[in-house]
Amino acid sequence: MLVLTLVMAAVGFTLLVIALSTGSVAWAWGSIGVCLVGAVLLLASALSGRNRTR
């Protein structure tokens, strides 16, 4: 799950670079969406790992 989170962060960064170079707001919103999905995956991974250790 952490690898998927890293992939989401890389895709979000790429979309942010595209948004800055083209000046398009749609790419920026796409970057925000991808980063939010990555953050949810990271939170789910952390919570599931915390429950497994107990």
Tens-place pLDDT, residues 1-54: 889 999 999 999 999 999 999 999 999 999 999 999 999 999 998 888 777 655
- Predicted pLDDT of residue 53: 57
Look at residue 51 in the predicted model and tell me its pLDDT: 73
What pLDDT is attached to residue 50?
75
Residue 32, classified by CB atoms within 10 Å of its CB into exposed (0-12), middle (13-18) or buried (19+), is middle
Indicate whether this model's pTM tops 0.85: no
Query: What is d(CA 37, CA 54) in angstroms, rounded to the nearest whole number?
Result: 27
HSE (side-chain half, CA atoms, 13 Å) at 13: 6
